[in-house]
Structure 1
């Protein structure tokens, strides 16, 4: 018998939703695609400015939080005929990175960062920066690439270290469609779904913001506590869920979307509470 037989699984990520739905169906489950996050890439004029900022600002450090951010900037630079210049400029900097995708994006450029996170999270990156020594950033000029949302704790580190910084935000997350949020919130609160799969930090953030607006945050937390299972692709997304008050969270050891569905199927096959993180 398929491990997800009889289970209704919500997929909240807009990226690779159809691929994940196929994996759920192969495991015998019923997937529901309910995007709780929209990603909007900045207008080309804005990317032009971001590329020029990297080329002409006297940065000494590059702090990177997503691989897609690096790739988006490089694609814009290529369209502008400035890809070689940007690669050369980046190789002049010292770098810090969060997450394996960011590491891979830098590796493709021939760059090995001096500092990297210890667990794939922004908090892990801050710990690594602290271990490197805040004194090493005093008076430095830092390019701080964010991932669609503000990062006040990361910004605070550089302010306290007395570093100058400029934020780069090559793409931004936008709120999902209200009709989708209304439908999803009703499905969860009414106990119609078995698990909600979340693949990036904005997804739970938008869900709980909407629940608060509707006066249903308590009901949402109650359902996650005893009914619907929250499943997060990695520590960053799980961290947002914990910040919102969710305690039952399934997280795969390997931070991959496919691995998350496989872990979910294994958990339902064994129904062991101690497998939750």
Structure 2
């Protein structure tokens, strides 16, 4: 494996699989720095249980699933409620729209195939595919992924959907201010060469913290000129664009390891110019 990150310091903003990502950075010759920009993700048990009970009692016409991890959490909660079979039947009698390959894989584990899936791994791609269907008057359940999806909700309402129910199996919480401050100062002082982001909340928490302390413009300038921002996939990349920090690295295969390898290739190509 070529050491394309030799001498580079890479901040890892995602707390999940940080050990695995650190190992890949080291194999490529770089130095990983753990700089979590997202706190613990936890399941909202009471909300989830009441949502599942309502779901199986009155199955929706359409079920929109946005993450595989979320679907797994829902089935785990359903098993505790002894309603796993009822949930599976509700899904079988509903049209299913899925975003992302992990969601499709989570469905496949349960012998389910989505009627609609995104064309590019993003919510925008899912909306494009759903445009081919008449949703007017339909009852729709949307499984969210740690935060609200205002664009998707607004689009569904524009299509004349009769009812939208949201299921939020887990929530993203902010990291400690000390963690955000350390990452922010690393970027502003150019103590690092790159930051890898693995979810939309990470960039939002960071930019909100920078804005609160009057350093947002400086943060954006550092990302534009000196520090390379990398996104694990299209959803994270879109959030970064919305926050004014467009990523310079997005892997074709939306996986954390692929992001690190793509980052190394980016630096290698930059040095050859």
Determine if the TM-score, normalized by the shorter chain, exceeds 0.5: yes
2:193 aligns with 194
Aligned length: 271
Provide structure 2 residue ranges, at least 5 long, that are not aligned to the other structure: none
Corresponding residue of 2:234: 235
Deviation at 1:42, TM superposition (A): 2.8
* CA shift for structure 1 position 273: 9.8
Unaligned runs of 5+ in 1: none
Question: C-alpha distance in 1, partners of 2:272/2:58?
Answer: 52
Task: Give RMSD over aligned pairs.
Answer: 1.6
Structure 1 equivalent of residue 153 of structure 2: 155
Distance (whole Å) between structure 2 residues aligned to residue 263 and residue 40 of structure 1 = 27
Aligned to 2:42: 41
Distance of aligned partners of 1:236 and 1:43 in 2 relative to their CA distance in 1, 3 Å threshold: closer
Partner of 1:10: 11
SS at match of 2:33: strand
Aligned to 1:218: 217
Report the Cα offset of residue 248 of structure 1: 4.9
- Distance, in Å, in 2 between the alignment partners of 1:149 and 1:47 is 14
Q: Which string of whole-angstrom CA distances, capped at 9 and with x for unpartnered residues, describes residues 141-163 of structure 1?
A: 10011111111111012111121
Summarize the Cα distance change of 1:43–1:145 in structure 2 as closer, same or farther, 3 Å threshold.
Answer: closer
Query: What is the distance in 2 between the residues matched to 1:153 and 1:247?
Result: 19
> Partner residue of 1:122?
123
Deviation at residue 272 of structure 1 after TM alignment: 6.6
Partner of 2:84: 83
* Maintained 8 Å contact 2:48/2:167: no
How far the C-alpha of 1:63 sits from its partner, in A, is 0.4
Residue of structure 1 equivalent to 2:32? 31
Secondary structure at 1:38 match in 2: coil
Secondary structure in 2 matching 1:230? strand
